[in-house]
Amino acid sequence: MRMKRTIIIGILTGMLIACSPEENTPVSVPDGKVQVEFQLPGTYGIGVSGVQSRADNLPDAEEEWHALPLPAEEELLPVGSTLWLSYAKRNDDDGTTYGTPNLQGYVVGTTTGGYNTLYPCTTQEVNGKLEINAEEIGAPLYLEAGTYKFKMISPAYPVSTDLKMNIDNGMYLYSTDGRYEETYSQPIPIEVNTSGVQYIKLNPIISQVARFTFTIHKGTGVYTLEPLEAGIEISGLQNPFNHGEEGQLQYNWSSENIADTLVMRMGDKRSWVTLPGSEIETETDGALTGDIGVLPTLTMSTPVAVLINMAVNGVPTQYMTLVNETHLLHARSYNFDWTVNVEDGQISVVTWQNQSWTTDIIGN
């Protein structure tokens, strides 16, 4: 199924111009440093494994790597996608810990040779948060010699000055992930060389949210099928703002330690998100389609309720289905398929839920 609703957060028309390398004027490399340029192989999209087992919320697993959702296929980010690069230098005194992370904004400028080429953009502070500035070209990243860890996150949502952000239901997020050997932040030595430039190929990033996709078909006796503005309402998801004993959490992602992944939590009936009718598309055969990102959620005690608001032959109607006793895992897609029929004047919905790998996710 081809996804019509491509998520590209933070792409602005001027950004491609502002961050284009052709626009950047040469800058001499400071003494004792090297200019660092990055290439990204892309992202691991969203699929579903046959086993409902969760990947633990762990730091870099190393000898205990988790297996990627299969089949694990990489997709390049679209040109114009925005990213934050978090980087930290290893401390010389102990050789194991790393210093305070720093942040650099990037945009995907080209997608050639199987890699995304990243170009720096400047950042600006708006209402106490850092945002990528699409109006100014960023200076290259200059680093001293040493060993560094680099983490990427896309899209480049606004981030607090201490490098934290809140990711809610309805948002998509791709990032470095220490649970998988293919996506972890491996230590990379930086050397000051005579050329003044070091090129680094980063590991791919992977989706940190689950995805719900919806397809609603016209069946027997259905002549028109239209989404109402209320769209599709989903409740019982993870609540990123209130975690019981932990209390209110202003942020649920940070650049440090294990928080490069979104933690799976129990569902909360008070937590909901809406896919508006304006974002649900009508296919050529009259079917309605849409998709939305949801936080990793345990539904064992609180079921996830999905309520569809649509007009069948001009008559407003609703249909609800429940998802329970399962894990909504990151990097998986949960695909809902409905066929609407009208028989003897009564509207009925034939429902099934299909969980399968989808290779057409672009994700950015």
Domain of residue 162, CATH code: 2.60.40.3730
Position 27 scores a pLDDT of 57
Residue at which a domain ends, from 173, 190, 207: 207
**How far from the centroid of its chain's Cα atoms is residue 126's Cα?**
23
Lowest mean pLDDT among 11-20, 27-36, 201-210, 319-328: 11-20
Residue 362 belongs to a domain: no
Whether residues 42 and 176 fall in one domain: yes
Last residue of a domain, one of 147, 172, 207: 207
Q: What percent of the chain has pLDDT over 90?
A: 44
Mean pLDDT of 264-285: 94
Do 110 and 179 lie in one domain? The reply is yes
Same domain, 200 and 219: no
- If asked whether residues 94 and 156 sit together in one domain, one would say yes
Q: Is residue 359 part of a domain?
A: no
pLDDT at 131: 93
Both 167 and 277 in one domain: the answer is no
For residues 297 and 294, what is the distance between their CA atoms, to the nearest angstrom? 8
* Full-model pTM: 0.82
| Residue 36 or 16, more confident | 36
- Across residues 10-27, what is the average pLDDT? 46
Please tell me whether residues 177 and 234 are part of one structural domain: no
Domain at 304, CATH number: 2.60.40.3740
Number of domains forming the structure of the chain:
2
Which amino acid, one-letter code, is at 2? R
Going 239 to 243 to 248 to 249, the CA torsion angle's sign is negative
| Helix ranges, the chain (H) | 13-18
Q: Are 190 and 237 contained in the same domain?
A: no
Write out pLDDT tens, residues 109-158: 877 788 888 999 989 899 889 999 866 778 999 999 999 999 999 999 99
pLDDT of residue 226: 97
Residues 42 and 190 both lie in one domain: yes
Q: Give CA–CA dist 109/119, Å, rounded.
A: 6
pLDDT tens for each residue of 241-264: 765 555 555 667 776 644 457 888
Q: What is the pLDDT of residue 169?
A: 96
Amino acid 134: pLDDT: 64
Do the domain assignments include residue 287?
A: yes
Does 1 fall in a domain?
no
Question: What are the CA-CA distances from residue 232 to residues 8, 161, 331 (Å)?
Answer: 21, 35, 21
Give the model's pLDDT for residue 149.
94
pLDDT of residue 144: 96
User: What are the tens digits of pLDDT across the range 65-84?
Assistant: 888 876 556 788 888 899 99
pLDDT at 17: 41
Give the pLDDT of residue 28: 81
Residue range(s) defining the domain that contains residue 82? 13-207
Stronger pLDDT, 80 or 26, i.e. the higher one: 80
**Residues 137, 148: one domain?**
yes
Whether 159 is in a domain gets the answer yes
Quote the pLDDT of residue 43.
Answer: 84
One domain for residues 235 and 106 = no
Task: Indicate whether 139 and 269 sit together in one domain.
Answer: no
φ, ψ at 224 (rounded to 5°): -135, 140
**Taking 80 as the threshold, does the pLDDT of residue 310 lie above it?**
yes
Among residues 175, 207, 239, which one ends one of the domains?
207
Does 110 share its domain with 156? yes
